[in-house]
Amino acid sequence: MSLAGKKIGILCGGESEEREVSLKSGQAIYKTLKDEGLDVVKMDVDRKMLKKIEREKIDVAVLALHGGWGEDGTIQAVCKLMRIPFTGPDVLGSALALNKVMAKKIFKSESIPTPPWKVISQDEITREGYLDNFIKKLGEELGLPMVLKPALQGSSVGLKVINEKMSLKSSIKESMKYGKCLLVEKYLRGTEVTVGILGLGSDLEPLPVVEIVPKRGVYDFKSKYTEGQTQYIVPARLPKKLYEKAQLLALQAFKALNLDIVARIDMLIEEDRNLYVLEANTNPGMTATSLLPKAALAAGYEFPKLLRRMIELAMKRAAQ
């Protein structure tokens, strides 16, 4: 499929906690496509985005927005309304994947293994005695250590690993500043891996498994975006059967969340045998330290080829 004569808009920036990472992704994509000789424009998305998109008259959008309304289905719905093909999953898949609580419920209903969890909202914290009872249940049902994850954030924004019960109450209150709902998950020790999926409909390609080895032990925001803080091994050092099982489980999670075009499924391997799906990332980072480009390169997709493939899939979906 030729991209000649098509004006490609790179939508990046936004207003989420991940704005700076998004700008880096956008710049990397812009430079690569520009070097390919394509007609491309980089757009810092804000609340005037409708007018910006209309003014630029783009034919297709490459979404490099992370978190917030860049991943929750909002910008996807805007593009659909304006009949502009866009990369990444559609409205429903984006919304389901970004909402960690909804994703967990779907994983459970589809018998996809995921670590045990509990949920608490901002409203519930204000009720007298509720938080103390909730913490008691956490101790009984999950035990320490446990992980706090804001339900509507990506890139491990606000993620905390709690090892001591005495710090749990204050940590829950602190994490609530990132949203109105908090996922509390049992912390499982093991090897973190991720699998990118590329494709549309029944034609889906699992990319090579990436093994994630953070120097600090926890793969948080700092480990993700500070060069040298995490080692990425492609392909992951796994037995063949476990490696293939990881790719199959990623495909299952991808389909369960109604995803298409591209997404990354993050998983954990406990004791070198038990696989658990942690979450899905529908707008994976495209920076120098990003995982999806590393996996794609190992599969034979150099960065320009990966971007072209994503854009072609977006145009194909829009034409269906």
Give the residue numbers marked as catalytic: 18, 155, 225, 264, 266, 279, 281, 285
Q: Which residue type does 291 have?
A: L
Instruction: Report the distance separating Cα 178 and Cα 298, nearest Å.
Output: 35
Decide: 148 and 174 in contact? Cβ < 8 Å.
Answer: no
Report DSSP letters for the chain, one per residue. Answer: ---TT-EEEEEEE-SSTTHHHHHHHHHHHHHHHHHTT-EEEEEEE-TTHHHHHHHHT-SEEEE---SGGGTSSHHHHHHHHTT--BSS--HHHHHHHH-HHHHHHHHHHTT-----EEEEEHHHHTSTTHHHHHHHHHHHHT-SSEEEEETT--TTTT-EEE--GGGHHHHHHHHGGG-SEEEEEE---SEEEEEEEEEETTEEEEPPPEEEEETTSS--HHHHHSTTSEEEESS-S--HHHHHHHHHHHHHHHHHTT--EEEEEEEEEETTTEEEEEEEESS---STT-HHHHHHHHTT--HHHHHHHHHHHHHHHHH-
Sheet of strand 181-186: strand arrangement: 117-121, 181-186, 146-150, 160-162
Instruction: Report the distance separating Cα 159 and Cα 168, nearest Å.
Output: 13
Decide: 9 and 58 in contact? Cβ < 8 Å.
Answer: yes
